[in-house]
Structure 1
């Protein structure tokens, strides 16, 4: 018998993770129901039997009315979201209906990178030197104070969208013009964060509640962009490095008023030790949950839903492996003519999954962020060296052709 509805507020900006929430909810005997301003975006998931309700998801009162109707019809076991944009909204709804959920004020503060850095700095958490700017002249002044190179990024956003390393004043002017000139979509008043380029290995720390569930190593494409190239669980660390990374990560929770549900901390190990790049008050998107399950046997999505509905949750590891995701990134703009070899790659022993994100005949315009990925290969084995070898063999089997756009 169904245990009630799990209400998901939107999910369109992270469909793979959203599908995992839907499937996990069904396994737990829940009825997943999505609230969306545009239900047509979910037509591709009709086979899952998902009920999608049209409602203005930017209107809290409208959401409360719809949830009240769903409560009377199904009973609501819990409310959450698979995307950062609506996680604070889900927290507000959970509070209104007296359901477990995160502190929406803390989530909102954390999603604003300027406020986040102010709170981290006040608490003594090591962060890069940074300034906030609203005009081009302010951006240049901030860079002059900090010293080139700098990283310029929108104050609100995710997926490295709009993030660029600027090594010269010319690159900074060009990127600022791009951000403020209409090419970047702002959900609020334009504010650009200009910060010191912290150099060193980049780590991602996954936390549920106040417990660290995993630390991974992120490898990026070549500067000036920050698109992921590879994600490895677990990161190879000394005991001292692990302790210091864990200590800094948990201090972020205290500084930002977090500690309920999932949090993701990204930091770099620099000459002065761990420096926090950003804190995300949510579960990271695919393929992080898949890698954590392959590496440790922990299903982060299911355990988060258990927390949302007030069930007992379990983060105990059942095994230990090295799991790595290698992303497929095109080297040019144009039209994808064909992509082949993915079935052979999937058949390689040790490959857990091969994902393709686009179909042939799709136009490719590289952005320098997560939107550039056309697929990924995921592998796992008992050792890091073996997993890397498996990936090398599998990725070598995949090929594609891109015809450049005519000028």
Structure 2
């Protein structure tokens, strides 16, 4: 039985999991290096501890007596969650699996050895090594940090010259490990799943619409995908194979998969964590009418698998594709068919950076629609975007 959970991090993305745990009658002990972290106001016990300091977090968790680590979005420091689980003998992601999730080089080696389809990859530790790596991999290729999550620092280069230009531009930072990968071709899918009590449960397969190269930021999620059921099966099979190869246990899973024109699925990335807040707080509830964090906490507490929530409904989530520049005016919110929710975060006078990362996308806002099927939900999203009047002065 779970009575008290540990929140590793108490920032904005941890707020929903903390609130959900409290709503389920659980006590929350939270750590974050920021003494002003917003999650501290919700926690029963909190302490300003850097989540990178595994020993300090373990000591705190042992002192206050936690029964589980709270499932929440977390990137590189999933390793701290795993260290706590191992030290206190808790169910959840364990150190070897967390290390592979945090280090894309290690994950690639494990997955390749297990026969999971992945892109060819070369690791570099210095911008001067980029030309040789690009020459070996060829173009098109992807250049990205070895650590981190989301779209931070990911560049899709159509030509060798584009890739080589990243080193002098400072995109490949001195002192940071980077990867040069062959660019997988096809349609990209986001996957949210779970593995509890050794049972894999596929939850969401989201077709992605991405920004044009060289950036790789999601603009739109479409659920269910506009593809044959065989595509969804292939995607989930690759994610399950990757999760088992890495050794993920008793955790949520967030992954990205590419499917080529022949229907072959290849893994891009995988981590044993909850998805980011838009998926957890908006998309999943809109589709299933239930809460993902609550389901994960129930599975942890009962020691059984995470039950699939059911059929759900078609949902499209779209960021506002507003161009870079100064916001001159923002019109009234549209009232178009199928619109479930909309949030415009831009205000007159704001200066918008080019839409390259999740931070850039969130600064603009988003909308969510439904329909009789995915095609209708997408048409409704496009109609709502067209009806939204935002004037931008290019600067």
- 1:199 paired residue number: 185
Deviation at 1:232, TM superposition (A): 0.9
Equivalent residue number for residue 59 of structure 1: 53
Distance 1:64 1:314, change over 3 A: closer
| Closer/same/farther in 2, CA of residues 401 and 123 from structure 1, 3 Å limit | same
Deviates more, 1:262-271 or 1:199-208: 262-271
1:105-116 equivalent positions in 2, closer than 5 A: 105-116=96-107
- Contact 1:10–1:86 under 8 Å retained in 2: no
Q: Name structure 1 gaps, 5 residues minimum.
A: 183-188
Contact map agreement 2:27 2:43 (CA 8 A) in 1: no
Alignment RMSD:
2.6
2:321 is matched with which residue?
A: 329
Q: TM-score, length-normalised on structure 1? A: 0.85
1:95 aligns with 2:86: yes
Structure 1 residue 393 and structure 2 residue 392: aligned?
no
**Residue in structure 2 matched with residue 216 of structure 1 by the alignment:** 206
- 1:186 — aligned with what? none
Residue aligning to 2:109: 118
| 2-structure distance, mates of 1:86, 1:379 | 34
Q: Is structure 2 residue 74 aligned with structure 1 residue 78?
A: no
Give how far 1:202 is off. 0.8
Match of 2:271 in 1: 280
Compared with structure 1, are the counterparts of its residues 313 and 115 closer, same or farther at alpha carbon in structure 2 (3 Å cutoff)? Answer: closer
Asked if the contact 1:125–1:276 (Cα under 8 Å) also holds between the matched residues in 2, the reply is yes
Structure 2 residue runs of 5 or longer lacking an equivalent are none
Match of 1:366 among 350, 354, 360: 354
Q: Given that residues 329 and 372 in structure 1 are in contact (C-alpha distance below 8 angstroms), is that contact kept between their aligned partners in structure 2?
A: no
> What is the Cα deviation at residue 282 of structure 1?
1.4
Of 216, 231, 243, which aligns to 1:253? 243
Match of 2:158 in 1: 167
- Point out 4+ residue stretches in structure 1 off by more than 6 angstroms: none
Alpha-carbon deviation of 1:338?
4.7
* Offset at residue 83 of structure 1 (A): 1.3
For residues 301 and 128 of structure 1, the distance between their equivalents in structure 2, rounded to whole angstroms, comes to 31
**What TM-score do you get using the length of structure 2 for normalisation?**
0.88
Give how far 1:108 is off.
1.3
- Which of 137, 152, 158 is equivalent to 1:146? 137
Give CA deviations for 1:373-406 in whole Å, capped at 9, x if unaligned. 121101223322331232223223333344455x
Q: Could you tell me how far 1:120 is from its partner in structure 2?
A: 0.9
* Offset, 1:129: 1.5
What is the match of residue 228 of structure 1? 218
Cα distance in structure 2, aligned partners of 1:238 and 1:404: 41
Q: CA 1:329/1:215 → structure 2, altered by over 3 Å: closer, same or farther? A: same
Separation (CA, whole Å) in 2 of partners of 1:88 and 1:337: 44
The residue number in structure 2 matching 1:185 is none
- Give the Å deviation of 1:234: 1.1
Aligned to 2:7: 8
Query: After the TM superposition, which residues 12-27 of structure 1 pair with which residues of structure 2 at under 5 Å, given as runs?
Result: 12=11, 15=12, 17-27=13-23
Give the conservation status (yes or no) of the 8 Å contact 1:336–1:402: yes
The question of whether the paired residues in 2 share the 8 Å contact of 1:113 and 1:156 is answered with yes
1:78/1:181 CA distance change after superposition, 3 Å: closer
Aligned to 1:30: 26
Give the total of aligned pairs: 385
**1:310 Cα shift?**
4.5
